[in-house]
Amino acid sequence: MEKIKHHLTDEILMAYSAGTLPEAFNLVVATHISLCDECRAAADSYDALGGAVLEDQEVVTISDGALKATLKLISEMPKDAIKTMHARKPGIFPAPLQDYVGGDADSVEWRSVGMGVKQAVLKTSKEASVRLLYIPAGVAMPDHSHKGKEMTLVLQGAFSDEDGRFARGDIEIADQELHHHPVAEEGEDCICLTATDAPLKFNSLIDRKSTRLNSSH
């Protein structure tokens, strides 16, 4: 596997440790950290600091100074305080995703959404939705922006867009400011796990017809 270049933010990892993410995003984060040593170590560090306590605190804006002080404290922790053991299973899907769907990619009930693209919507809580996307090599996804947050993890193959190239283990975090046109790389079909908390906004009349990508069914 190529070296992972695109990681989770500290704020997302803190929320994951505190248990405050919607189920859909929680699944994407858990799947990513099962592949990414760097983010897994950070998440384990937040757990060791008692990150779950944050769930009961009032929501406040964290200053840069406070965040840097927290990260410095983590870096000074003894290595044996950081959990590093995570089960790994053979296959395309990492263990958290295999456990969630009950198998690997060959057990997924894919539904066509056009242009060879397929999806499988996974059942989660209503705060956000999560789906598996299968994009044939060389195929471009519709040009779109976002009404909320979108988190996309590559499980197989790679895609490129305005933010760069994303291969297995890389995660792209998009919000209302990102307008992009992802294209699956030639050579291998691309499979992604994608969570959103609001519908996508398609940027052309033709792309607006791709409403099945917004469907939760």
The CATH number given to whatever domain includes residue 132 is: 2.60.120.10
pLDDT of residue 130: 96
Q: Domain check: are 48 and 138 in the same one?
A: no
pLDDT of residue 204: 57
Interatomic CA distance for residues 105 and 25, integer angstroms = 19
Q: pLDDT per residue over 168-178, tens digit each?
A: 999 999 876 76
pLDDT of residue 34: 96
Q: Is 93 a domain residue?
A: no
Q: pLDDT per residue over 124-149, tens digit each?
A: 998 999 999 999 999 998 776 667 88
Report the first-to-last Cα separation within the chain, whole angstroms: 32
Residue 30 structure tokens: 């858990």
Q: Domain check: are 21 and 54 in the same one?
A: yes
Q: How many domains does the chain have?
A: 2
Look up the domain containing 120 and give its range: 103-214
pLDDT of residue 141: 83
Q: Is 4 a domain residue?
A: no
Across the chain, which distance is largest between two alpha carbons, in Å? 56
Q: Is 86 a domain residue?
A: no
Residues of the chain with pLDDT under 70: 50-89, 144-146, 176, 178-180, 200-217
Q: Domain check: are 113 and 155 in the same one?
A: yes
Q: Domain check: are 181 and 140 in the same one?
A: yes
pLDDT of residue 176: 65
pLDDT of residue 51: 43
**Could you say which of 50, 81, 112 is where a domain stops?**
81
Q: Domain check: are 192 and 144 in the same one?
A: yes
What is the C-alpha radius of gyration for the chain, rounded to an integer number of angstroms?
Answer: 18
Q: Is 96 a domain residue?
A: no
Q: Domain check: are 160 and 117 in the same one?
A: yes
Q: φ and ψ at 160, to 5 degrees?
A: -130, 145
Q: Domain check: are 140 and 194 in the same one?
A: yes
Q: Domain check: are 135 and 200 in the same one?
A: yes
From 144, 114, 116, 135, select the one nearest 184 (Cα to Cα): 135
Q: Domain check: are 54 and 123 in the same one?
A: no
pLDDT of residue 60: 61
- Amino acid identity at 184: A
Rounded to two decimals, the pTM is: 0.77
**Could you say which of 47, 81, 115 is where a domain stops?**
81
8 A C-beta contact, residue 159 and residue 135: yes
Q: Domain check: are 52 and 135 in the same one?
A: no
8 A C-beta contact, residue 190 and residue 205: no
Q: Which residues pair with 37 in a beta bridge?
A: none
Q: Domain check: are 29 and 107 in the same one?
A: no
pLDDT of residue 174: 84
Q: Is 140 a domain residue?
A: yes
The CATH number given to whatever domain includes residue 15 is: 1.10.10
